[in-house]
Amino acid sequence: MNEFAINIKYLRNALGFSQQQVANLLGIRQTTYSDYERGRSEATIGVLKKLAYFYRVPTDVLIGFKFPLALEVEAKSQPGNKKS
């Protein structure tokens, strides 16, 4: 699975939204959003911008120029890890 897929799934779950709710807000089909989360298709730049605005994160984070969010959270929760 690609980092974009990991990140949008993590963000959606962290905020407690269903795929259908996010898809409705973006104006796309739920199956299309599901394909993004499964890494089966790539979002257009327009959808990427809407996702960044909706999730309130930079597009860099969504596409993986930084650690995938789920992995970063996991790393911070490891015993003895001093990251903040």
In a domain, 55, yes or no: yes
Give the chain's domain count.
1
* Long-range contacts of 77-81, Cβ-Cβ distance < 8 Å, separation of 24 or more: none
Dihedral sign of CA atoms 40, 44, 48, 51 in order: negative
Of 73, 49, 76, 74, the closest CA to residue 63 belongs to: 49
Q: What is the pLDDT of residue 84?
A: 46
Largest CA distance in the chain: 43
Could you report the per-residue pLDDT of 24-78, keeping only the tens digit for each?
Answer: 999 999 999 999 999 999 999 999 999 999 999 999 889 887 655 555 555 565 5
Range of the domain at 47: 3-76
């259908």: which residue's tokens? 20
Instruction: Indicate whether 53 belongs to any domain.
Output: yes
